Amino acid sequence: MALSALGWVLSDSQRAERLLSLTGLTPEVLRDNLTDRATLSAVLGFLEAHEPDLLLAADALNVTPEALVKAHAELAR
């Protein structure tokens, strides 16, 4: 789910730039650590921190916003 969320974020250049700016991630870090729990957690945390994006992502991924929040909590453990 987190990888799908990342794909959704990256599909919009302004949102992708905001992800990089707010999380401190770089394109290289994303590429090199694509399956790393911390990286995936950062992506979901980014969505969780901005409700409009959380709702849009959930709709696009056909999941509930709560499912994204729960996935973030599980990855952050």
Take residue 63 and report the two structure tokens written for it.
Answer: 């999941």
How large is the average pLDDT for residues 59-73?
98
- Phi, psi for residue 62 in degrees, rounded to 5: 60, 45
Identify the pLDDT of residue 67: 98
Give the pLDDT score at 19: 98
Tell me the torsion sign for CA atoms 53, 58, 64, 69.
Answer: negative
SS3 35: coil
Reported as half-sphere exposure (CB side, CA atoms, 13 A), residue 74 has a value of: 8
Closest CA to 30 of 48, 49, 9: 9
Is this structure's pTM higher than 0.85? yes
pLDDT digits (tens, 9 = 90+) for 36-52: 999 999 999 999 999 99
- Of the chain, the percentage scoring pLDDT greater than 70 comes to 100
